[in-house]
Chains A and B, each alone.
Chain A
Amino acid sequence: MTAVADEAVLQSSFDSTIAHNDRIEPRDWMPEDYRKTLVRQIAQHAHSEIIGMQPEGNWISRAPSLRRKAILLAKVQDEAGHGLYLYSACETLGVSREELTQKLMSGAQKYSSIFNYPTLSYADVGTIGWLVDGAAICNQVPLCRTSYGPYGRAMIRICKEESFHQRQGYELLMTMMRGTDEQRAMVQESVDRFWWPALMMFGPPDGDSPNTERSMAWGIKRHTNDELRQRMVDMTVPQAEALGVTLPDPDLRWNEERGSYDFGEVDWEEFWAVVKGNGPCNEQRLAHRRQAYDDGAWVREAALAFAASAGRVASASEDSAGRVASASERIETKEETR
């Protein structure tokens, strides 16, 4: 069988799996671009969870009560867990954890721009839970049905936990709204700062999102950026009314004909500036991540040395290639069939 014909057979088997809405699993043949797109998307998602610990972690030591502190600790720990589920899913595509970590720290791979905005008051902890995690839920629920098995399974796990994040945020804001005028003003000021960046989380408008169409054909994405953004606006307006805050958009109004809210134009110049590294906290977030990585180096080394001395591990370097090996094995198998 010629290589071209062989490739065609593999491709048609892949296409039929996608067409049947079945899942692609780690050792299946997949087009290289499908793999690359997934690595980029899952890595971006994992990095977002990891960097996302920083804006809220900022407030752990200054939580207003023990109750709020325990909640915030649990939430930030969840973000770490979500990052790990996603790294684990990404590694099934043949990239190593070390490579992912290095690419985050060098800026070669991105994380969500929302985390490049600062958290200036405790109300921001509530607003992040409500709006940022709310937007994340909008984005993530459809991803539970994504075509790549390990990614979908990680998303199911994450979505189960994300609901706690949103509810604790909304409850925090409700509590502040029942407080003093000053507290209500803090909530409004926080919502004013986060509303537009939260809408930017869905990515550029469909016209400027060249990968969307292909990702949808592959079943990686299930909805376009603009569809999800609209869904977020429609869900949030009644929540804002119940809370008693104003969303900072003079063009926001119900459109009877569409059965949806019309809303103003996102400042895409700001979006691209932050993506390109010029947001308020880009440098600080990456510097903090690098610092944490460097500070933890002795722990990683010591744990390995202890495991080796106790004879608990045969050879760490040999085994670290385990998952990567299964990916290269996949490629070798392909070579053999040729």
Chain B
Amino acid sequence: MTGVKAEWPLYEVFVRGKRGLNHVHVGSLHAPDDQMALRHARDVYTRRNEGVSIWVVRSSAITASSPDEKDPLFAPSGDKVYRHPTFYDIPADVPHM
């Protein structure tokens, strides 16, 4: 039978590899609800101790910057070289700088 058209919603999965690290996006999966998404994420993405904590979030809940806005969004930081430590000339013999 092919009458089932409603798909399970899409979730994005984030895994913390070990304590002290951030959760990192590892992929996505379909699940009927949040709890099942977590269970599926465990089976699909952590079969070999890849993580100590999992986040799942509906893909539809994510707001992303658009690649088309890349320039107006990120270019302004490009000309602010004074934000980097290498902008400043300090004599080489000054210690611990």
Pick from B10, B28, B33, B44: contact of A313, CB below 8 A: B33
Tell me the residues in window 284-338 of chain A with beta carbons closer than 8 Å to chain B beta carbons: 294, 297, 300-301, 303-304, 306-307, 310, 312-313, 316-320, 322-323, 325-326, 333, 337
Contacts of A301 in B (CB 8 A): 4
Contact of A91 with B28 in the complex, beta carbons under 8 Å: yes
Contact of A320 with B7 in the complex, beta carbons under 8 Å: yes
Contact of B9 with A320 in the complex, beta carbons under 8 Å: yes
Contact of A27 with B66 at beta-carbon distance under 8 Å, contacts A88-B27, A102-B2 already known: yes
Contact of A81 with B33 in the complex, beta carbons under 8 Å: no
CA distance A320 to B9 in the complex (A): 4
CA distance A313 to B59 in the complex (A): 13
Distance in Å: Cβ of B72 to nearest Cβ of chain A = 13
**B60 adjacent to chain A (CB < 8 Å):** yes
Contacts of B43 in A (CB 8 A): 77, 81
Contact of A27 with B64 in the complex, beta carbons under 8 Å: yes
Contact of B9 with A303 in the complex, beta carbons under 8 Å: no
Tell me the residues in window 64-97 of chain B with beta carbons closer than 8 Å to chain A beta carbons: 64, 66-68
Contact of B8 with A316 in the complex, beta carbons under 8 Å: yes
Distance in Å: Cβ of B51 to nearest Cβ of chain A = 13
* Nearest B residue (CB) for A294: B1
Contact of B67 with A319 in the complex, beta carbons under 8 Å: no
Contacts of A215 in B (CB 8 A): none
Contacts of A206 in B (CB 8 A): none
Contact of A307 with B67 at beta-carbon distance under 8 Å, contacts A85-B27, A91-B10, A96-B7 already known: no
Contact of A161 with B10 in the complex, beta carbons under 8 Å: no
Contact of A303 with B5 in the complex, beta carbons under 8 Å: no
Contacts of B35 in A (CB 8 A): 312
Contacts of B9 in A (CB 8 A): 313, 316, 319-320, 322
Distance in Å: Cβ of B75 to nearest Cβ of chain A = 15
12 new A-B contacts, CB < 8 A, other than A81-B47, A97-B7, are A91-B28, A161-B47, A306-B32, A307-B33, A307-B36, A310-B33, A313-B33, A317-B7, A319-B60, A320-B30, A322-B9, A326-B64
Per CB-CB distance, the 9 closest pairs between chain A and chain B, nearest first, are A319-B9, A320-B7, A307-B33, A312-B33, A303-B32, A322-B60, A322-B59, A307-B32, A88-B28
